[in-house]
């Protein structure tokens, strides 16, 4: 590569990394940490995550609704998550004056405990990872940070691309810390960069809704929308009856989530997990009238618009659930590797600033002079 072009690529890689690298490293570290901490968190807080009587028959969804609405009132919206495995508790996400998760005993509908959305190490890491603690305003920023990694990857690969492939993966650890970290940064970035890009790009896709809307617009599909509810006076219809209807419509489906608000102007949504849906929570939806219990709409996951349907693949790609435990371990490794790339890149830049001049440059080694960071 021509020396002037190389300097241009180097500056682009360096300043983009320094400008957004710290935030990218934080997001990578928190994402990898959550993979490790989630099972540990559930083991350490069994009072929230383990049912007292796992073999007892489950309480009705209506009993669950009554328990949480009485506690949090009619101004909140709720997302119920039934147990996914024997012994799990029933989770209810609350979005209202109070934001957090309520943990309910699945057989008695008694509330076991609460956690605010930033309460506890795992929840704090999740909020930092998914919003940078900025709420909805953090999601477009996260998308920009995630997409910037693709430019970092491209510039890094251009700088790494070897003339001699025998030297492409060579690492030396006898030339001091600077040379060792430089080789580690170079080789790890080239080896894991593409795999990391899959997780980063899928995270950007989920974080910023305009990306999925763009995919839908390009495909020419009509975007899926919740049905409109015609207000009818009366008491709320039975969630348990809705569940029976939903599972009659899709006999092989498991209920992933039940989303509702006590307000009669919003439909009740049952999200179902079909056997052929790669999304671990399911994207098939049955929409019900909140008062009459009538079915308002059916949205099967593979019949959704292209942008929304893409989440069936993007979500498990990002979390690692698509490929099971091995994929989750790989995602954790890549997350920590991206964190390490951010740290080594910053350290190499700082080290280079301190070692400018003829003598320090000679100590850094000829390869370091050819590839200054």
DSSP string across 194-212? HHHHHHHHHHHHHH-HHHH
Contact 269, 260 (CB under 8 A): yes
What pLDDT score was predicted for residue 179? 76
**Strand order from edge to edge, sheet including 254-260:** 111-116, 99-104, 90-95, 77-81, 254-260, 268-273, 284-288, 295-299
Virtual torsion, Cα 354, 358, 362, 368, nearest 10 deg: 60
pLDDT score for 371: 41
Q: Where are the domains of the chain?
A: 3-53+108-217+321-370
What pLDDT digit, counting tens, does each position of 84-123 carry? 999 999 999 999 999 999 999 999 999 999 999 999 899 9
Q: What is the mean pLDDT of residues 328-355?
A: 85
> 78 by DSSP, 3-state: which?
strand
Task: Give strand ranges (E) for 166-314.
Answer: 254-260, 268-273, 284-288, 295-299
Phi, psi values for residue 82, rounded to 5°: -65, 160
Q: What sign does the CA torsion over 15, 17, 20, 26 have?
A: negative
When pLDDT is averaged across residues 168-186 and rounded to a whole number, the result is 77
Of 113-122, 183-192, 198-207, the least confident? 183-192
363: pLDDT strictly greater than 50: no
Question: Pick from 1, 2, 9, 21: which is nearest to 350 by CA?
Answer: 21
Give 301-305 contacts, CB < 8 A, sequence gap 24+: 301/274, 301/277, 302/276, 302/277, 304/224, 305/216, 305/219, 305/221, 305/222, 305/223, 305/224
pLDDT of 184:
83
Q: What percent of the chain has pLDDT over 70?
A: 93
Residue 4: pLDDT band (50, 70, 90) is: confident
Amino acid 356: pLDDT: 62
> Mean pLDDT over all residues of the chain?
87
User: Who's near 19: CB < 8 A, 6+ residues apart?
Assistant: none
How many residues are there in the chain?
A: 373
Share of the chain above pLDDT 90, in %: 51
Full-model pTM: 0.83
Q: In this predicted structure, what is the pLDDT of residue 369?
A: 38
| CA distance linking residue 355 with residue 182, whole number of Å | 14
| Torsional class of 250: left (φ above 0), alpha (ψ -120 to 50), beta (otherwise) | beta
> What's the CA gap between 99 and 110, in Å, rounded?
19
Least confident of 164-168, 322-326, 327-331: 164-168
Q: What is the pLDDT of residues 18-50, one digit of tens each?
A: 877 778 888 999 999 999 999 999 999 999 999
257, 64 in Cβ contact below 8 A?
no
CA–CA separation, 161 vs 306, rounded Å? 36
Helix, strand, coil shares of the chain, percent, nearest 5, are 55, 15, 30
Of 33, 19, 24, 35, the C-alpha closest to 143 is 24
User: What is the pLDDT at residue 370?
Assistant: 41
Helix (H) or strand (E) holding 102: strand 99-104
pLDDT at 180 over 90: no
**C-alpha span between 12 and 18 (Å, rounded):** 10
């Amino acid at each position: 590569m021509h020396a002037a072009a190389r300097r241009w690529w180097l500056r682009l890689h360096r300043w983009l990394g320094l400008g957004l690298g710290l935030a990218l490293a934080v997001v990578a570290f928190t994402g990898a940490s959550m993979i490790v901490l989630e099972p540990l968190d559930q083991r350490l807080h069994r009072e929230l995550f383990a049912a007292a009587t796992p073999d007892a028959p489950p309480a009705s969804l209506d009993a669950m609704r009554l328990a949480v609405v009485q506690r949090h009132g009619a101004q909140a919206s709720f997302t119920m998550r039934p147990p996914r495995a024997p012994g799990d508790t029933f989770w209810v996400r609350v979005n209202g004056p109070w934001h957090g998760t309520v943990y309910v005993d699945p057989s008695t509908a008694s509330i076991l405990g609460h956690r605010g959305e930033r309460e506890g190490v795992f929840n704090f890491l999740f909020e930092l990872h998914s919003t940078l603690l900025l709420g909805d305003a953090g999601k477009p920023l996260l998308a920009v940070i995630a997409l910037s990694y693709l430019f970092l990857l491209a510039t890094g690969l251009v700088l790494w691309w070897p003339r001699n492939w025998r030297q492409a993966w060579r690492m030396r650890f006898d030339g001091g810390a600077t040379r060792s970290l430089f080789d580690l940064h170079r080789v790890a970035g080239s080896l894991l960069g593409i795999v990391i890009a899959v997780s980063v790009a899928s995270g950007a896709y989920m974080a910023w809704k305009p990306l999925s809307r763009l995919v839908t617009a390009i495909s020419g599909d009509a975007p899926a929308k919740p049905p409109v509810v015609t207000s009818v006076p009366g008491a709320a219809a039975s969630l348990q009856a809705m569940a029976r209807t939903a599972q009659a419509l899709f006999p092989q489906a498991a209920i992933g989530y039940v989303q509702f608000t006590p307000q009669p102007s919003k439909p009740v949504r049952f999200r179902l997990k079909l056997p052929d849906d790669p999304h671990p929570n399911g994207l098939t939806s049955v929409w019900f009238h909140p008062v009459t219990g009538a079915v308002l709409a059916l949205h099967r996951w593979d019949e959704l618009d292209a942008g929304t349907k893409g989440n069936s693949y993007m979500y498990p790609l990002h979390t690692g659930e698509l490929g099971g435990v091995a994929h989750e371990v790989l995602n954790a490794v890549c997350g920590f590797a991206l964190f390490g790339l951010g740290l080594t890149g910053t350290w190499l830049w700082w080290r280079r600033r301190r070692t400018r001049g003829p003598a320090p440059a000679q100590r850094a080694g000829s390869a370091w002079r050819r590839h200054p960071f």
